[in-house]
Amino acid sequence: MKAKLIILFLICIFLSGCGNYRELNQIAIITGIGIDKKDDEYEVSVLIANAQKSETSSKEGESQPTVYSGKGKSLVEATKVVERKTPKQLYLGHINVVLISEEVAEDGFLKVADWLLRNPESRKKFYLILAKDSSAKDVLEIVSPLESFPSQNIATLMGANSKTQSITNSVTYSDFIKAILTEGEEGILPSIKIMGKANKGDSKDNLDQTDPETYLELDAIAVFKDDKFVGYTTNDESQAINILKNTVKQSIFTINYNNGLTNITTKNISSNIKIKDTDKFKITINGEARIAEINSKANLNDKNVIKQLENKLNKKIEKQIKTVIKSMQEKYQSDIFGFGNLVYQNYPKSFKDVEDKWNDKYFPNIKVNVKSNVELISTGSIENTIGKEESK
């Protein structure tokens, strides 16, 4: 009986608590990482969320975001330099965002992917973003009056805008790795840029202004080929990409009608790509739309007017999709839509013969038929334009 009690006691000891448990004041909690490359060296910048404020006026225990950086021939070497600068052990379990510079992306993302993958503490669901026209470190240091930490500001931007703004998208580390390792498909990333002067964005004065002098803004989609960054899309192309990838909840289109501009909001929009042959595909777009704003006289009770607006909307959607496909075929030779993956799934033997030259030789020559069937179902809260309503 005593032996059983001893065994039970030992089990309780070993099962209670964590073997790698560490006190909070012993670790530096990293919420954002920036990866830059200059010449032959990497620079790793980490945003530490629980750095204590030094001002005597601050509340006891209050923390502020602090960025530490280190350089080295490899990411591990650069991180070791960072570790020598901070008295606390780096902890990657709460990363929100990882920013990479254009130089890192052009050199190939898989060269830095291994370091992020092998760390057992980091969750692989953090946002991956390309820093446009600036270093990743500079982006990581821009503070915002709306969020406590720059990393949280970026994560909030990504989460909110990917649902309401169709010119950007949110991509996690896992999403991106899956895309670039999938047969017959290439990866894309959102980009972010600094508006204003970078050296002003990390100061407290930037927070105190009603109109911040420096802030971050999401930009167009970055295109990759064989894990290397090759260029950016336009806003219209980004919008079409998100529609094709079914990553947008709503989108806004501006069309010309009766010598005026009309804004139409789409919702529940979805795309379906079907393969007809190894080089023939059909894309069908379905969804609903409503008039958000109209600046021309139009009788919205007239079914013919509604049909004209609907036709113009669908033609615009079709044109944007055809334009972005042509751009990927001719400008970048990057199959970000996964047409090659459909060939791989449906004609595996045929794809095996062309996979090495798919992007450069075969993808640029595929034929794609595009048909948009978005239905205009609402004219808003009034039946006519302002001019029509006032003339009643």
Secondary element (H or E) of residue 284: strand 280-294
Neighbours of 44 (CB within 10 A): 26
- pLDDT, residue 60, reads 44
Give the percent of the chain with pLDDT over 70: 78
| Paired residues of 217 in beta bridges | 193
> 375: pLDDT confidence band, cut at 50, 70 and 90?
very high
> 149: pLDDT confidence band, cut at 50, 70 and 90?
low
| Number of alpha carbons in the 13 Å side-chain half-sphere of residue 84 | 9
Long-range contacts of the stretch 275-278 (C-beta < 8 A, 24+) = 275/339, 275/342, 275/343, 275/346, 278/343, 278/347, 278/350, 278/351
Query: Which segment of 58-72, 229-243, 307-321 scores lowest on mean pLDDT?
Result: 58-72
SS3 55: coil
The 8-class DSSP code of residue 331 comes to I
Domain final residue, candidates 232, 264, 283: 232
- pLDDT, residue 378, reads 77
Q: What would the pLDDT profile of 321-370 be if each residue is shown by its tens digit?
A: 999 999 999 999 999 999 999 999 999 999 999 999 999 999 999 999 99
The residue that leads in pLDDT, 61 or 271, is 271
The residue that leads in pLDDT, 388 or 257, is 257
Q: What angle do CA 140, 78, 194 make, to 5 degrees?
A: 20
For the chain, report the end-to-end CA distance as a whole number of angstroms. 95
150 and 243 together in one domain:
no
Owning domain of residue 371: 236-392
Neighbours of 283 (CB within 10 A): 21
- pLDDT, residue 129, reads 95
34 and 119 together in one domain:
yes
152 and 274 together in one domain:
no
The residue that leads in pLDDT, 108 or 122, is 108
Number of independent structural domains in the chain: 2
Highest mean pLDDT out of 1-5, 37-41, 45-49, 274-278: 274-278
Q: What angle do CA 161, 166, 172 make, to 5 degrees?
A: 60
54 and 140 together in one domain:
yes
Q: What would the pLDDT profile of 65-105 be if each residue is shown by its tens digit?
A: 789 999 999 999 999 999 998 888 888 888 889 999 999 99
265 and 280 together in one domain:
yes
- pLDDT, residue 306, reads 92
Amino acid letter for position 127 = Y
Domain final residue, candidates 211, 232, 253: 232
The residue that leads in pLDDT, 8 or 200, is 200
Amino acid letter for position 245 = K
Q: Does residue 11 fall inside a structural domain?
A: no
Domain final residue, candidates 202, 232, 262: 232
Is-contact 328 334, C-beta < 8 A?
Answer: yes
CATH of the domain at 380: 3.30.300.210
360 and 273 together in one domain:
yes
181 and 270 together in one domain:
no
Angle at which helix 75-85 crosses helix 110-118, to 10 degrees, equals 50
The residue that leads in pLDDT, 351 or 121, is 351
- pLDDT, residue 121, reads 67
220 and 260 together in one domain:
no
DSSP H helical ranges for the chain: 2-15, 75-85, 102-107, 110-118, 136-141, 150-164, 173-181, 204-208, 235-244, 303-327, 339-346, 348-354, 386-390
183 and 281 together in one domain:
no
Q: Does residue 331 fall inside a structural domain?
A: yes
Question: Model-level pTM?
Answer: 0.83
- pLDDT, residue 154, reads 78
pLDDT over 80 (residue 382): no
pLDDT over 80 (residue 310): yes
Highest mean pLDDT out of 49-58, 169-178, 271-280: 271-280
Whole-angstrom Cα distance, residue 348 to residue 352?
Answer: 6
Whole-angstrom Cα distance, residue 315 to residue 179?
Answer: 30
Q: Does residue 241 fall inside a structural domain?
A: yes
* Contact partners, residue 178, CB within 8 Å, separation at least 6: none
Q: Does residue 7 fall inside a structural domain?
A: no
As given in the structure block, the two tokens for residue 58 are: 């601050």
Q: Does residue 3 fall inside a structural domain?
A: no
Is-contact 44 112, C-beta < 8 A?
Answer: no
Q: Does residue 305 fall inside a structural domain?
A: yes
| Burial (0-12, 13-18, 19+ Cβ within 10 Å), 111 | middle
- pLDDT, residue 57, reads 40
Average pLDDT, the chain: 83
Which residue shows structure tokens 């000891």?
A: 13
215 and 242 together in one domain:
no
82 and 228 together in one domain:
yes
pLDDT over 80 (residue 56): no
Whole-angstrom Cα distance, residue 123 to residue 173?
Answer: 9
Closest CA to 30 of 144, 126, 172: 126
174 and 303 together in one domain:
no
Neighbours of 313 (CB within 10 A): 23
Angle at which helix 303-327 crosses helix 235-244, to 10 degrees, equals 100
Residue 160 vs residues 132, 151, 169, 306: alpha-carbon distances, Å: 20, 14, 10, 31
The residue that leads in pLDDT, 156 or 216, is 216
